[in-house]
Amino acid sequence: MKNKLMSSFLIVTIFVFLLSACNSKQTSQKELGQSSSSGDEVSGEITVASWNLAADSLTETAKKFMEKYPETKVKIEYVTSDYNKIIPPLTAGKGAPDVIQIQQRDFPNFLERFPNQFVDLTKLLNGKEDEFVEVAMNLAKKDGHIYALPWDLGPVGVYYRKDFFKKAGVDPKSITTWDKFIEAGKKIQDANDGVKMLALGLSSDDIADMYRMLMNELGAQYYDKDGKIKFVTKENIKAIEMYKRLVDEGLVMDAPTWDDRIRAFVNNKVAAIVYPVWYAGTIKTQAADQKGLWGLMPMPAFEEGGPNQAHMGGSVLAISTQSKNQKLAWKFIEFALMTNEGQDIQMKYGLFPSWKPYYQTEQFKAVDEYFGVSLSEFFGKLSTNIPPLDYGAHYMDINNAIIDALGAVISKDDDIAKALKKAEQRAARDTGLDIAK
């Protein structure tokens, strides 16, 4: 069971780039290591940068932490997930928050772009890295050293409105393929005035969210086996074809921002949400009055009996080497991610833990009153065979090129293969990587 849990979530790989640490980072780590061995006494103030629901969970975590350590002050700084407030201070080498949330898929890129900006946590973990799901921990490492603690994981499912489905006479168990999802969506929209099947960010950078889940479900990749850029593949084309079909069939409301998509379900305008386990917390907290109206079903497959698992999201918490209170910063993330008390709060907000000891607790196994099912049991079954997806150390540049291609195809009706070929050229220019022939 233990090995199963380790391999059940977040099946992705990363390229390892060799880069030795400078003396300043070694000194910082030595000081942190010395201070962390001086008992549990901590004091002072730190700032933690996070966004949306994750920031809400850390706000509650900080309150509990400060009750336990009254000589401390933990301030949660709400930032955006595009890192607009994080990248400038990392680039300048000053002004960064003490603790920073970074998406797991992006962290290898941050380690590459900002060497010596993150504290080496290897010694502080003291051999406990095996307590974290292995593939999640791998994204927090570079050259055998650990530079962040894995936070949550993101197996994907479909949240659906039971009342909208019932009114249309649609059985969610019958929706086993995307073809059936489309046909069901038409019935549901006809039966429920003003309701769209999906709300997606078609006119923003979030356009890539739905594509990424579809391409992951198909086992598509951004690179070939030699690490060269390769977007023009049958799997990638197939994923975009289905995405475009969902839009062309009139099933998608354009909701460009995170808040727009929240408003869509809060205002009863959307019948289904294709998103990871962590979105359960967003639905529960933003639409508390809809308790009992939301159900859960697996992602539809492209073909009957085909693969229907994907992963999206998941973050790490890293300590900036700019922090003047690294001892307190470590104590806080240790409390948040390596104690049952801290993880109770994360689960409350739907943040599925990568810290394995928590899997044995009653809180983890409990039935969620809002959805009427055990989230851990449901999403655990949807994470047994997620195809590996190599984000690489240049993912942010890769994703920007894909965003351009999706916009051209979905908004301008450009040819998919031609749009992907153009995206390959942009990605090669921005990353310096070769394009596969």
d(CA 230, CA 224): 6
Cα radius of gyration rounded to whole Å, the chain: 22
Residue 25 has pLDDT above 70, yes or no: no
Cα dihedral: 384, 390, 393, 399 (round 10) = -100
CB atoms within 10 A of CB 258: 17
d(CA 111, CA 395): 12
Spans of all domains in the chain: 2-153+312-366+374-381, 156-310+394-431
Mean pLDDT check: name the lowest of 53-57, 131-135, 314-318.
131-135
Q: Does domain 156-310+394-431 have CATH number 3.40.190.10?
A: yes
Q: Return phi, psi of residue 391, to 5°.
A: -80, -35
Q: What is the pLDDT of residue 27?
A: 34
Q: What is the pLDDT of residue 16?
A: 28
Report DSSP letters for 115-150, one per residue.
Answer: TT-B---HHHHTTGGGGB-HHHHHTTEETTEE-SEE
Q: What is the pLDDT of residue 273?
A: 98
SS3 content of the chain, % helix, strand, coil (to 5): 45, 15, 35
Q: What is the pLDDT of residue 57?
A: 95
Residue 367 has pLDDT above 70, yes or no: yes
Pairing between β-strand 389-390 and β-strand 12-13 as defined by DSSP bridges: parallel
In tens, the pLDDT along 220-238 reads 999 999 999 999 999 999 9
CATH superfamily of 2-153+312-366+374-381: Periplasmic binding protein-like II (3.40.190.10)
Q: What is the pLDDT of residue 39?
A: 54
Residue 73 has pLDDT above 90, yes or no: yes
The one-character DSSP state at 324 is: S
Structure tokens at 362: 């009653």
Query: What percentage of residues in the chain have a pLDDT greater than 70?
Result: 91
In tens, the pLDDT along 124-168 reads 999 999 999 887 888 899 999 999 999 998 899 999 999 999 999
Residue 62 has pLDDT above 60, yes or no: yes
Q: Is 430 within 8 Å of 401 (Cβ atoms)?
A: yes
Residue 23 has pLDDT above 80, yes or no: no
Q: What is the amino acid identity at position 296?
A: L
Residue 35 has pLDDT above 50, yes or no: no
Closest C-alpha among 137, 153, 154, 136 to residue 145: 137
Q: Return phi, psi of residue 396, to 5°.
A: -60, -40
In tens, the pLDDT along 187-196 reads 999 999 999 9
Asked, colleague to colleague, whether 2-153+312-366+374-381 and 156-310+394-431 share their fold, the answer is yes
Distances (CA, A) of 206 to 108, 134, 212: 21, 28, 10
Segment 104-130 mean pLDDT: 94
- Residue that is written with structure tokens 């003003």 in the block: 194
Those residues with Cβ within 8 angstroms of residue 238's Cβ, 6 or more apart along the chain or in another chain = 218, 220, 302
Pairing between β-strand 145-146 and β-strand 141-142 as defined by DSSP bridges: antiparallel
Q: Looking at per-residue confidence, does 133 or 399 come out higher?
A: 399
Structure tokens at 321: 């080497």
Ramachandran category for residue 362: left, alpha or beta (phi over 0 → left; psi -120 to 50 → alpha):
alpha
Residue 7 has pLDDT above 60, yes or no: no
Residue 42 has pLDDT above 70, yes or no: yes
Segment 257-263 mean pLDDT: 96
What value does the mean pLDDT of the chain take? 90
Per-residue buried b or exposed e for 167-177, using 16+ beta carbons within 10 Å of the residue's own CB: ebebebeebbb
CB atoms within 10 A of CB 430: 14
Q: What is the pLDDT of residue 329?
A: 98
